[in-house]
Structure 1
């Protein structure tokens, strides 16, 4: 039962973390949140018992894990729920943690997270992917690109389409290509561009058995590829995808997949073994219950529900919408972070977006580099615990 359970949610700046807070509160769990950013939206939810400021995960992975472990001991935490890529560090040093995580082991997470390795996973499991070439140097990247008429390329350790190259519908940006330097530890994938409808599926699984799935597509997508507004749909093919992968890995935790719906069926693009925006399209009681309890039957999120990130619409400007279109969008769909009269995460999403967009401008970096840079894992070898 969830009543009385105390859950530590990590990476509170990641938007879906607020959805997890709402879901756990709805089923009666006590929730605490950790992040290294004091303006992380989930840290300011009225439904948490305590907010914790912790070291940056990617800068000091062992120190980060030890601090999470200390919080778990001091606060009598029953379960740790990583929401973003800081979960890779917690998995790598899981022996330091005094309580379980709602997540898979490190070797499983790292293989699914690696886009190059995931192509091999799909081939092994009989799931379709685009024709793919792997480049481990700039010269190999140039040669791989030359092998396709229409291509899409990105690093094996990347997210939301950020840092990608393509010639689909436009000329190849030669200056950007010159700055791309694949390595053996972080290669690039070059794939044939596949026409189809972009589709995402979120799944909560336990012991290899999917418990909840939400299928959705970007109603509004930012230039980097991530969804600003997302709408739930029905697609029976999603069940086969999540069942096949989760069963093969005896998977426990959150997992997401991006694929394209085509005339020849679904074409898998990538796997995100973490929480995704699908939590906002699923009943909160169902999400909370699936995290804390076993389910006997698979539950599907209903189609036709839309949520969006208003702060991305206002500050992102990556959606190529006019001011009039943005205002119309703001008035036509509910912000994902507002639930159960909990408004401060919504307010802090604007504060965080404004603060780190300004910092990115000052430091000549992308917003994603600033906002997510210290909670991502780029595949680099991790040090031994000490």
Structure 2
């Protein structure tokens, strides 16, 4: 485990995602010096007393080369111990690792392994190669192929996408035609599209940290209450030995180094868990932290070049919640002002569905300034409950990749100094 008495200088790659914000809380509670880069001056992590300095940077999506140059300059100026990629910036850093090595510690696998995990099509092919369970899947590159292979009900996924972007659930012919139209307007058929059978079940998530292909940390949780866009408003830690074994096999095959997370379905019929998505990073690590598994601390040790001992699994049944997700989810489901106000009271009193749970995203008691985005969200929803989806889409910003920026990173020789 990391020595909490040793304060490290950590540069966090973005400040807009919920995953990045939760990592900052964990780093702050450990006493580390934290600085954050993000293209948005109003990003979520700007409202944290744990952040010592904020750097407004070029957007990763719009200009990966300019973003990389900005990060290099911060590393040169700040003498950071660790560069911590908390979202899709890892794709660029894995490609440009030679330019970062020696300037700060960084825990990432080779670029080809990262690209396989980042691509939904690449991950699906890897599962087939390893003989690991996934829903019946077809990969297509045209609307005609899609119509030929689809079996309703089904799920369509673009090969590039995060935070529920690029996913369509199809239960009838009208849903299918709407999805095909959306894919065409987005020019999504320029890349691969996944078509999967829709399996009835609950979606859960597992997170891990690997050291040169060996798993040294693992945690899994299930969704207790849904938020906006299918995200979790309330989570509960679970033990999933079968999922752990599957994820361990994936990490070994990729010779993974760093953080690796997966989504999977637990079918209602009691069948084996089915792997459906992969994220080459930690996804909202606070539930793991509250359960006794400090995956962020483990990443710091890896970044410093150490070989940490494997952590034991955390406690089962630990409840955590994201108040902003809960409020957005309440409004998105058609909640009235009275419903939203009632939800606010339950959250403030930690009662009702939140009894026994702790806040993940805006830990006001430990980080008082985090109340600002929470209060603003509540105020906006009370004034206009129908604005929930618009507020939720605000997180899909310039800190994320799209197909164009991915092609730019793949096409440039970022390994050269």
TM-score bracket, shorter-length normalisation: 0.7 to 0.9
Alignment of 1:348 with 2:370, yes or no, is no
Q: 1:319 to 1:90 in 2, by over 3 A?
A: farther
Shift in Å, 1:87: 2.2
CA distance in 2, matches of 1:189, 1:132: 7
Map 1:38-77 → 2, pairs under 5 A: 38-77=41-80
Structure 1 unmatched ranges of 5 or more: none
User: What CA deviation, in whole Å up to 9, does each residue of 1:172-193 have, x standing for no partner?
Assistant: 2633432222655422111111
The CA distance in 2 between the partners of 1:354 and 1:187, in whole Å, is 41
Q: Which residue of 1 aligns with 2:395?
A: 371
| Larger mean Cα displacement after TM superposition, 250-259 or 205-214 | 205-214
In structure 2, the partner of 1:303 is: 316
After superposition, residues 30-179 of structure 1 pair within 5 angstroms as 30-97=33-100, 98-145=103-150, 148-168=151-171, 172=175, 174-179=177-182
Contact 2:183-2:189 within 8 A present in 1 as well: no
* CA offset digits 1:218-239 (Å, max 9, x no partner): 2222453222322211221121
**Distance of aligned partners of 1:375 and 1:295 in 2 relative to their CA distance in 1, 3 Å threshold:** same
Q: Is the 8 A contact 1:153 1:188 kept in 2?
A: yes
Matched, 1:318 2:324: no
1:334 lines up with 2:358 in the alignment: yes
Provide the alpha-carbon RMSD of the alignment: 3.0
User: 1:282 maps to which residue?
Assistant: 289
Instruction: Report the secondary structure of 1:297's partner residue.
Output: coil
For structure 2, the residue ranges without an aligned partner over 5 or more in a row are 302-306
SS of the residue 1:202 aligns to = strand
CA distance in 2, matches of 1:231, 1:300: 14
TM-score by length of 1: 0.87
Q: Secondary structure at the match of 2:237?
A: strand
Task: Report the TM-score, using the length of structure 2 for normalisation.
Answer: 0.81
Mapped partners of 2:295, 2:117: distance in 1? 22
Q: 1:123 to 1:44 in 2, by over 3 A?
A: same
Q: CA deviation at 1:28?
A: 3.8
Asked if the contact 2:23–2:285 (Cα under 8 Å) also holds between the matched residues in 1, the reply is no
Please say if 1:237 is aligned against 2:242. Answer: yes
Equivalent residue of 1:34, what SS?
A: strand
Q: Cα–Cα, structure 1 residues 223 and 41, in superposed 2: closer, same or farther, change >3 Å?
A: closer
Q: Distance in 2 between matches of 1:104 and 1:346?
A: 36
- Secondary structure of the residue aligned to 1:174 is helix
Does the CA-based 8 Å contact 1:78-1:100 persist in structure 2? yes
Count of residues in correspondence between the two structures = 379
Separation (CA, whole Å) in 2 of partners of 1:313 and 1:66:
38
CA–CA distance in 1 between the matches of 2:296 and 2:172? Answer: 43
1:128-162 Cα shifts (integer Å, max 9, x gaps):
111111121222222222xx132111211122333
Aligned to 2:233: 228
